[in-house]
Structure 1
């Protein structure tokens, strides 16, 4: 689904265009609290914010006008998730937006009544955020970012480099990716089909990232970087180490590839933020999160940085290049 199509769908919901904030008995502005996992100065996180605000504007909500927005940026700091969740709940919001699992966990500790819309969350059922996808059943709903079929695609991409990769390490931080077991199950289920051996590579800091990647380079293996606030915040360290060791690496988001990574396959996260505006709007107009089904990812993109491949001496198959949504040359 193209972004303009999503915006057209958003615009179609504006009939009539009167806002809830303008209804009798309710003083404007409405309040939205946003708990982000990115650093505040991260251009990628700012792009997510821009998409969210774009979606809200299409629905008639204006930050600083009929909507007041409180932003909190944690940079992946575990202590800040809890601190900022408390601040946002104290703000008295009508609805909360949570980026990634740690934000949801922190907000659920502080409230079980204020509606929470999440985005960039893997396995919301397994993590106990919702009862089931169709009927969340509580004060939390939102947009998931993982489909098990993605695991096979990641591994297939690593077999389409020359020479093909036979050993893969999967990088994530167990503290911020409690759902990694689900993703590893999908990866291990798919691995035999591609004659690949996959293992976990849990990391907690830049030093461990460098150690994992250096070892893989000696083994002539490949790296798969999972969706995780830790990997988002430590993006530059991962990219620098992979470049230094010329390691074939698949990332979960285009932002890594645009920043110099080899290739990525995953959800369009800016699109998830754009679509989140729809649920925020529906809740502000009276809908309950318990009745809004969790949305599964539907839009995926494969991005290849051919410039990086050439610089690292990595050959990519013509089939892989032909299936890419974008090739950076």
Structure 2
């Protein structure tokens, strides 16, 4: 009987230890190591627009959330070549995991600024011809990504224009000779025009203020239509270009659907929103360890024709039904 107090005491100790053990087991587990914070650079000649938004949507769909698992370093050159080079140099000095470059000029600037940081290009019309990559299948350096290269694109644009305007004989072309990608596109457009017996009137646009200056002679030289080549500067000036074309009752075929949405007559070209969206997948592959030198450049798979019947009526153009049947988007 004298052992009962000791026995009772031992029972209490065992119960206390059990309670403490249970409390410890219920304590939250130590926090996991924080998710890696990737550093992504974004280089563009023009300000943010719907194409940039498509890229960021692609990142979100892949699980990348700004501030949680990546930080963004954006540099915009305000359509200025000198600022573009400076912006690329700034990004190259940062400890970035990847740089996304919009267009040929931005990609060239980024490549000149760094040979070590992976670069994902978007919207480059001739990555091989401009020296950005060794080949589409094996880029061979620190650049890969999305190309908008389509060898027969210039011919298709002029053919569409001719089918809408059978008597079109002279077409004014707005293009940027400082964009290396435009040089090859201009040659292709020239070859297509010769085959269709169309005379091209070259109007160079090297900076935003050149747009008005380029249009003025077109109205005096009796051109039948206007065409734009693929260029970020021209894309950023689409509101002014469309307004000038409409004011002068000039039909136009443009390289982006956005021109038509703002009042242009027609556009035909790759779906650039999809191209920018797909660029996010290239970023994901590089961040997961793939070497850009071995990631093939992706060419456009989808092309879209957009037509504004509202503009056609305004400038007195009748778009044939067979062309309307081909359109991906019609603005009425």
TM-score (norm 2): 0.85
Q: How much does 1:178 deviate?
A: 1.8
CA deviation digits over 1:116-146, x for unaligned, max 9? 0000001111111111111000000111113
CA distance in 2, matches of 1:235, 1:134: 33
Preserved CA contact (<8 Å) 2:39 2:96: yes
**Stretches of structure 1 lacking an aligned partner (at least 5 in a row):** 1-22
Instruction: Answer yes or no: is 1:167 the counterpart of 2:170.
Output: yes
Instruction: Answer yes or no: is 1:64 the counterpart of 2:46.
Output: no
Q: How much does 1:205 deviate?
A: 4.5
Preserved CA contact (<8 Å) 2:51 2:273: yes
CA deviation digits over 1:212-270, x for unaligned, max 9? 43433341421110111220222222112111111111100001110111110011111
Preserved CA contact (<8 Å) 2:208 2:233: no
CA distance in 1, matches of 2:290, 2:331: 42
Q: How does 1:8-23 map to 2 (within 5 A)?
A: none
CA distance in 2, matches of 1:123, 1:163: 30
Instruction: Answer yes or no: is 1:178 the counterpart of 2:186.
Output: no
Instruction: Answer yes or no: is 1:106 the counterpart of 2:114.
Output: no
Is the partner of 2:171 in helix, strand or coil? Answer: strand
> Greater CA deviation, 57-66 or 259-268?
57-66
CA distance in 1, matches of 2:257, 2:158: 17
Q: How much does 1:323 deviate?
A: 0.9
CA distance in 1, matches of 2:246, 2:255: 17
Is the partner of 1:323 in helix, strand or coil? Answer: coil
Preserved CA contact (<8 Å) 2:102 2:122: yes
Instruction: Answer yes or no: is 1:302 the counterpart of 2:305.
Output: yes
> Greater CA deviation, 116-125 or 53-62?
53-62
CA deviation digits over 1:52-88, x for unaligned, max 9? 2221122222111011111122231112211211222
**Stretches of structure 2 lacking an aligned partner (at least 5 in a row):** 1-31
Name the structure 2 match of 1:36: 44
Work out which of the two has the higher radius of gyration on C-alpha atoms and give 1 or 2. 2
> Greater CA deviation, 227-236 or 198-207?
198-207
Preserved CA contact (<8 Å) 2:307 2:329: yes
Describe the shift of the 1:282–1:121 C-alpha distance in structure 2 as closer, same or farther (beyond 3 A). same
CA distance in 2, matches of 1:112, 1:323: 44
Is the partner of 1:179 in helix, strand or coil? Answer: helix
TM-score (norm 1): 0.86
CA distance in 2, matches of 1:138, 1:187: 30
CA distance in 1, matches of 2:35, 2:326: 51
Is the partner of 1:119 in helix, strand or coil? Answer: strand
Is the partner of 2:268 in helix, strand or coil? Answer: strand
CA deviation digits over 1:139-191, x for unaligned, max 9? 0011111302111111012112345311112211212x222231122222222
CA distance in 1, matches of 2:264, 2:61: 33
CA distance in 2, matches of 1:101, 1:87: 18
CA distance in 1, matches of 2:56, 2:189: 35
Name the structure 2 match of 1:230: 233
Describe the shift of the 1:327–1:287 C-alpha distance in structure 2 as closer, same or farther (beyond 3 A). same
Q: How does 1:94-243 map to 2 (within 5 A)?
A: 94-162=97-165, 164-175=167-178, 177-205=179-207, 208-218=210-220, 219-243=222-246
Is the partner of 1:160 in helix, strand or coil? Answer: helix
Figure out how many residues of one structure are paired with residues of the other and give that number: 300
Describe the shift of the 1:283–1:206 C-alpha distance in structure 2 as closer, same or farther (beyond 3 A). closer
Preserved CA contact (<8 Å) 1:75 1:233: no
Q: How much does 1:293 deviate?
A: 0.7
CA distance in 1, matches of 2:77, 2:211: 21
